[in-house]
Structure 1
Amino acid sequence: MCNDYRLMVELASVIEVFEHLRIKIRFPEGRPNIEAREDIRITDTAPIVRTVEGERGVGELVQRRWSWPGPSKKPVYNFRSEGREFSSNRALILCDGFFEFTDPIEKGKKRKDKWLFRKVGEPLFAIAGIWRATDKVGEAFTMLTMEPGPDIAPYHDRQIVILERDAWTDWLDPTVSAKSLIRPLPAGSLSVEQVG
Structure 2
Amino acid sequence: MCNLYTNKSTVQEMASLFATPATYGFNAPADVYPQYPGIVVREDQGKRVLEQMTWGFPRHSINKRTGKPNKPTATNNARDDKLWTIWRQWFTNPAHRCLIPFTAFAEAEGEPGKMTRTWINVADQPVAAWAGLWRPTDEWGNAYTGVMVDATKELWDIHDRMPVILHPDAHETWLRADAEEAMAVVTQYSATKLTVERTDDPWFARKAQATERQTLI
Q: Which TM bucket (shorter chain)?
A: 0.7 to 0.9
Is 2:186 the partner of 1:182?
yes
Is 2:115 the partner of 1:120?
no
The answer to whether the 8 Å contact 2:29/2:37 transfers is: no
Instruction: Give per-residue Cα distances to partners, 1:6-56, cap 9 Å, x unaligned.
Output: 0111122222222xxxxx4147xx43436661x211111111001335x3x
Is 2:143 the partner of 1:132?
no
Structure 1 residue 188: deviation in Å? Answer: 0.9
Instruction: Give per-residue Cα distances to partners, 1:136-189, cap 9 Å, x unaligned.
Output: 222100111111124432211111111111111111114252211101112311
The answer to whether the 8 Å contact 2:15/2:50 transfers is: no
Aligned counterparts of 1:152 and 1:166: Cα–Cα separation in 2 = 24
Amino acid at match of 2:156: A
Give 1:36-115 correspondences, 5 Å limit: 37=30, 39-52=31-44, 55=46, 58-72=47-61, 73-84=72-83, 86-88=91-93, 89-104=96-111, 110-115=113-118
Q: Secondary structure at the match of 1:110?
A: coil
The answer to whether the 8 Å contact 1:32/1:63 transfers is: no
- Select the residue among 188, 191, 196 that pairs with 2:195: 191
Aligned counterparts of 1:16 and 1:133: Cα–Cα separation in 2 = 26
The answer to whether the 8 Å contact 1:59/1:172 transfers is: no
TM-score (norm 2): 0.76
Q: Which runs of 5+ in 1 are unaligned?
A: 19-23
- 2:12 corresponds in structure 1 to 12
Q: Percent identity over the alignment?
A: 26
TM-score (norm 1): 0.83
Aligned counterparts of 1:9 and 1:48: Cα–Cα separation in 2 = 12
